[in-house]
Structure 1
Amino acid sequence: MELRPYQREAKEAVFEQWENGTRKTLLVLPTGCGKTIVFAKITEDCVRNGDRVLILAHRGELLEQAADKIAKATGLKCATEKAEESCLGSWFRITVGSVQSLMRETRLKRFPDDYFDTIIIDEAHHCISDSYQRVLHHFPDAKVLGVTATPDRGDMKNLGQVFESLAYEYTLPKAIKEGYLSPIKAVTIPLQVDLTGVGVQSGDFKAGDLGNALDPYLEGIAMEMEKYCREKKTVVFLPLVKTSQKFRDILNDHGFHAAEVNGESQNRTEILEDYATGKYNVLCNSMLLTEGWDCPDVDCIVVLRPTKVRGLYCQMVGRGTRLAPGKDHLLLLDFLWHTERHELCHPAHLICESEEVARKMTENLEKDAGCPIDIEEAEKTASEDVVAQREEALAQKLAEMKRRKRKLVDPLQFEMSIQAEDLAGYVPAFGWEMAPPSDGQKKTLEKLGILPDEIDNAGKASKLLERLDKRRQEGLTTPKQIRFLESRGFQHVGTWQFDTAKKLIDRIAGNGWKIPRDIIPSEYKGA
């Protein structure tokens, strides 16, 4: 099986981390981008190198899918470590194992601590739990790869506590742009749903409270869905089984062909098959279909399980992002959730790295309620709005800086000038990145013209130093050139060449440090 370019890059990045001595690394691929295929090919190479590999997951369906994909992609068979089945005594080099079985002390004791050379954790956002940690601690020298589409978790613990690095991340916007996932259009439904009485537990809204809070709005939601979902193949996520069943009945009263599935559904397989073949056009569920179920021609997602957990939100929407014949986009319905808390996930959180941009995009979408809007275009507009706001704030800051006659460039000015959104929105993820900047980093930054006082973590300092070195190699402007010219009204000097800035500064110096009459700084283009 031929890997796609990003899948090849992901595989190579993982082995590079292991070869460089990083034992526990993370791989992030959006739902629908073939993460199982990637770790199947990684497993194949590990076996070729003589490793014994454990694929660890928390649900039987995921283990079956992994074994099936590995067999199809590589021809290799897997032993199973689950319930009554054991891999001990098997000659297969790959084991798919249930964490619920392996975590038991009596079971772990059967294995020498060097039995597995490599451990791959599917849906790795679950691995912070004690059950996974018990298994990992039993095999302390194994190389570990965590694979996930959703790299954060409801209890807000960071995966950086478990993994030492992020080997590779392929983002949803990139996957859409390169044609591997469906474009997404979001529509904010102008229906105010009051969540102010809903409690919070383990970092997210309580499902029981949500079910009760939603009940008064279900009829109104069904009426709104009539406007958008009549010709769509829709999946609806709800907080409780009873709410899901009630909403199925309401939708059928409104002329939809709706079905409902839950963990107790005895005919679940039959319902899912009937939905796939078109007998039903709406499928309601209470969070059952967030992992391990694929139906590529789903082209509408309705999230009626509001959440503060970005990972969970991405999983729900991910059920509709796969490509299918005749499908030109996924329609995502969002509602005007009224809550005292502002951390609620919206379509913006699928695509925005910066919380500031996500807030602006959500605000813009709510202004255009009722109109389906491409989320990539919405993100671009929101980013431009935020940049404009930052530039206004920057102008005020520059006025203060001028008065204080600073010799160093504020990091924000540098980031805005070179148009580095990745630096401006940087958030540390791994342990070493969160530590304060070292004295050496601060000294070097100051030497290069950057004011280090407002840089509060080593990860940001490291990224700035890398960027400064890269800019020096590429012959771009220095921080000191940026400060001098922008303090005199020139704009985005960070995008200029070093020599261009030097010639202009020399000309200003030769004119008694005054701007030559034929130059208007605000209109001057250095490129």
Structure 2
Amino acid sequence: MPEIKTHPDYINEDTRSEFIEKNKLKILRKYQVNAIKAVQKSAQNGNKRFLLEMATGTGKTLTCAAIIKLFLKTGNAQRILFLVDRIELENQAKKSFRQSIGKDYVVKVWKEDRDNWKTADIVISTVQSLLASSRYRDFSPNDFNLIISDEAHRSIGGNARAVFEYFTGYKIGLTATPKDFLKNTKQDENSEKEFERRELLDTYRTFGCESGQPTFRYDLKDGVNDPDGPFLVNPVILDARTDITSRLLADEGYAVHKVIDGEDVDENFGIRDFEKTFFNKETNRVFCEAFMKYAAVDPLSGEIGKTIIFTVSQKHAEKIVQMLNQIAMEKFPGKYNSDFAIQITSNVRDAQQFSISFSENNLRGHTRWLSDYESSRTRVAVTVGMMTTGYDCSDLLNLVFMRPVFSPSDFIQMKGRGTRLHTFKYVDYENGEKVKTIKKENFRIIDFFAVCEYFEEKYDYNAPLVVPMSRQTQNTLVTPPLIDVDPPVIAVNRTVDLNEDDSLSEIDETIVGKEGMRVDREMFRSFQNEVKSNEEFVKVYNNGNIDAGAKLS
């Protein structure tokens, strides 16, 4: 719409939002324009690879759409490949691109139209689809002039990197989870740690960012404090511990001395043992009841706000869903019929579609709480790992940790599901079509395993990276899974049912301010000075000698 700036409904601030929504217009924010300019400047300097680090909810896909249009419109690309790491993200990207630039260019998912992909300007595919039977070799290396890798930290390792490097065009990596690759890395040159250091540095080098600085960075703190914003929201943290989880979190662990199923159980359990070496029905019930009591509610309908619950395993997810549905039907008679909560894990048929429907507010139909209100009847999605990255559901109001989390990048991704802005809207037809709107100001994290405390107070951000014990299988590459699987259980012969009473022992609320959480500040801090101060790195990179077999002298 070239005439937008002169259109009276756009000029009038009272009608501008409705005008933009009615015409489905996509308008770039200033920082998104700056991201595009950063790519242009880098290209002007002769670079062909670029890395964009942008926090979840800042519109990486829309920014990408603008970059794609720029490349196509200027003739710098005739066809573009957009790589994602999970099946459900294919359709999410297709929908986003069609809404933003679909009138000008043809967008197709490769596996849906393999015989006619050449008629598309933008081809979307999972890395796994192209890896299977080395199908990427059916293409010519010159078939795509621009290759964009969503969640780039997942797409350049193992076989996935082979796909990315096969094509010869411009390369752009997107990520919301940067990692401090260079902390405390001074090790013996022949050590596993030293090998890992070179390998991780090469990840940044893949995108032309040898200094450790991405082409463009915009983090959660930027989004919250942007003078033109805010464009993201911070959480309110509810630290909720039961008697048992409090003891699991203690240094001495949770001591059990009893006979279970005729066998003596005499041992201490730690936080990692919950639902892996033991389970306790009463603890799970306390989790569910506490969630129902303390969850943030939809500001218009008054029902439990839309929620993602992260559980230990698929079996754990199944238990939680059953308990929540039972409680909801008792607490809210006539509102739900075993559809308050639903399991969205890889062992559930149609899980991919469930996640899409949950985002689009039609999972199991619409709410029964407010007539004609477009919000999902199902309020809670219970998952393990399917909805941790790249999942867009802006009206989420609750994230619940019914499992421990120890990876800071995983935590950033999980937390990022709730940071998106959203305006709740309802047309009250009974009162003259009066429109009610309420903006999302925060979201709630209900934390049963002190995950937030761990990353705020206990995680050692200066600790050396953990590396694999052996690299002998480096060339034996395995295709990463499409969706979540149960976390591995180590040295466990069976899982015991403790069958013990439990109750909520403490609950504390923390409102995260504009400074954000420590994990956000630490994981997005600059790498540049750290690298430049290391003479050996500078020497190696100046000589262009940083392959996997190189040794630092």
What is the TM-score when the length of structure 1 is the normalising length?
0.61
Give the AA of the match of 2:68.
Answer: T
Following superposition, the deviation at residue 23 of structure 1 comes to 2.8
* CA distance in 2: counterparts of 1:354 and 1:16, whole angstroms: 36
- Find the counterpart in structure 2 of residue 295 from structure 1: 393
Please tell me whether the aligned partners of residues 532 and 538 of structure 2 are also in contact (alpha carbons under 8 angstroms): no
From 282, 291, 312, the counterpart of 1:225: 291
From 436, 452, 457, the counterpart of 1:346: 452
Return closer, same or farther for 1:261/1:94 CA change in 2, 3 Å cut-off: closer
Following superposition, the deviation at residue 92 of structure 1 comes to 2.9
From 356, 359, 363, the counterpart of 1:274: 363
SS for the counterpart of 2:276 is helix
Please tell me whether the aligned partners of residues 80 and 95 of structure 1 are also in contact (alpha carbons under 8 angstroms): yes
Following superposition, the deviation at residue 95 of structure 1 comes to 1.8
Following superposition, the deviation at residue 30 of structure 1 comes to 1.8
Following superposition, the deviation at residue 434 of structure 1 comes to 5.5
* CA distance in 2: counterparts of 1:371 and 1:377, whole angstroms: 20
CA offsets per residue over residues 270-329 of structure 1, 9 Å max, x none?
673237734233321222222344332221111223222222222222222222223331
* CA distance in 1: counterparts of 2:457 and 2:172, whole angstroms: 25
From 32, 44, 65, the counterpart of 2:92: 65
Give the AA of the match of 1:310.
Answer: P
**Structure 2: 5+ residue stretches without partners:** 1-25, 182-195, 255-269, 298-303, 332-339, 367-374, 425-437, 463-505, 540-553
- Find the counterpart in structure 1 of residue 444 from structure 2: 331
Following superposition, the deviation at residue 86 of structure 1 comes to 4.7
Following superposition, the deviation at residue 126 of structure 1 comes to 0.7
* CA distance in 1: counterparts of 2:219 and 2:454, whole angstroms: 14
* CA distance in 2: counterparts of 1:284 and 1:131, whole angstroms: 31
Following superposition, the deviation at residue 214 of structure 1 comes to 7.2
* CA distance in 2: counterparts of 1:318 and 1:354, whole angstroms: 21
SS for the counterpart of 2:507 is coil
- Find the counterpart in structure 2 of residue 374 from structure 1: 511
* CA distance in 2: counterparts of 1:353 and 1:26, whole angstroms: 27
Q: CA RMSD in A?
A: 4.0
Q: Within 5 Å, which residues of 2 pair with 1:97-496?
A: 97-104=125-132, 106-139=134-167, 141-152=168-179, 158=200, 159-160=203-204, 162-165=206-209, 166-177=214-225, 178-191=229-242, 192=246, 194=248, 211-212=275-276, 215-216=279-280, 217-229=283-295, 231=297, 232-233=304-305, 234-255=307-328, 257-266=340-349, 268=351, 269=353, 272=358, 273-274=362-363, 277-324=375-422, 325=424, 326=438, 327-337=440-450, 346=452, 355=461, 370-376=507-513, 426-427=526-527, 435-436=535-536
Return closer, same or farther for 1:112/1:143 CA change in 2, 3 Å cut-off: same
Please tell me whether the aligned partners of residues 160 and 431 of structure 1 are also in contact (alpha carbons under 8 angstroms): no
* CA distance in 2: counterparts of 1:214 and 1:152, whole angstroms: 33
* CA distance in 2: counterparts of 1:352 and 1:87, whole angstroms: 53
CA offsets per residue over residues 112-164 of structure 1, 9 Å max, x none?
3233221100121211322221112222x422111122224999974425332
* CA distance in 1: counterparts of 2:204 and 2:507, whole angstroms: 39
Following superposition, the deviation at residue 218 of structure 1 comes to 1.6
Runs (4+) off by over 6 Å: 153-157, 195-198, 350-354, 429-433
Please tell me whether the aligned partners of residues 57 and 419 of structure 2 are also in contact (alpha carbons under 8 angstroms): yes
* CA distance in 2: counterparts of 1:425 and 1:259, whole angstroms: 38
* CA distance in 1: counterparts of 2:526 and 2:108, whole angstroms: 42
* CA distance in 1: counterparts of 2:53 and 2:327, whole angstroms: 40
* CA distance in 2: counterparts of 1:96 and 1:64, whole angstroms: 9
What is the TM-score when the length of structure 2 is the normalising length?
0.58
Please tell me whether the aligned partners of residues 234 and 514 of structure 2 are also in contact (alpha carbons under 8 angstroms): no
- Find the counterpart in structure 1 of residue 43 from structure 2: 18
Return closer, same or farther for 1:438/1:94 CA change in 2, 3 Å cut-off: closer
Verify: 1:34 aligned to 2:59, yes or no.
yes
Following superposition, the deviation at residue 80 of structure 1 comes to 3.6
* CA distance in 2: counterparts of 1:83 and 1:220, whole angstroms: 45
CA offsets per residue over residues 79-123 of structure 1, 9 Å max, x none?
4433771556x2433222231232356533333323322110012
Return closer, same or farther for 1:282/1:23 CA change in 2, 3 Å cut-off: same
- The number of equivalent residue pairs is 373
SS for the counterpart of 1:82 is helix
Return closer, same or farther for 1:17/1:437 CA change in 2, 3 Å cut-off: same
Tell me which of the two structures has the higher relative contact order, counting C-alpha pairs closer than 8 angstroms and 6 or more residues apart.
2
Please tell me whether the aligned partners of residues 352 and 379 of structure 1 are also in contact (alpha carbons under 8 angstroms): no
- Find the counterpart in structure 2 of residue 45 from structure 1: 70
Identity of aligned residues (%): 23
More helix by share: 1
Give the AA of the match of 2:208.
Answer: E
Return closer, same or farther for 1:435/1:66 CA change in 2, 3 Å cut-off: farther
Give the AA of the match of 1:329.
Answer: N
- Find the counterpart in structure 2 of residue 503 from structure 1: none
Please tell me whether the aligned partners of residues 29 and 171 of structure 1 are also in contact (alpha carbons under 8 angstroms): yes
**Structure 1: 5+ residue stretches without partners:** 199-205, 338-344, 357-368, 384-420, 440-527
Please tell me whether the aligned partners of residues 79 and 86 of structure 1 are also in contact (alpha carbons under 8 angstroms): no
Following superposition, the deviation at residue 431 of structure 1 comes to 7.2
SS for the counterpart of 2:448 is strand
Return closer, same or farther for 1:220/1:96 CA change in 2, 3 Å cut-off: same
* CA distance in 2: counterparts of 1:305 and 1:172, whole angstroms: 24
SS for the counterpart of 1:305 is coil
CA offsets per residue over residues 228-264 of structure 1, 9 Å max, x none?
1273422211121110110122233444643322234
Give the AA of the match of 1:376.
Answer: G
Please tell me whether the aligned partners of residues 404 and 449 of structure 2 are also in contact (alpha carbons under 8 angstroms): no
Return closer, same or farther for 1:221/1:315 CA change in 2, 3 Å cut-off: same
Please tell me whether the aligned partners of residues 334 and 346 of structure 1 are also in contact (alpha carbons under 8 angstroms): yes
Please tell me whether the aligned partners of residues 428 and 434 of structure 1 are also in contact (alpha carbons under 8 angstroms): no
Following superposition, the deviation at residue 168 of structure 1 comes to 1.1
* CA distance in 2: counterparts of 1:131 and 1:122, whole angstroms: 16
Q: Which moved more, 1:68-77 or 1:269-278?
A: 269-278
Please tell me whether the aligned partners of residues 331 and 372 of structure 1 are also in contact (alpha carbons under 8 angstroms): no
* CA distance in 1: counterparts of 2:122 and 2:530, whole angstroms: 30
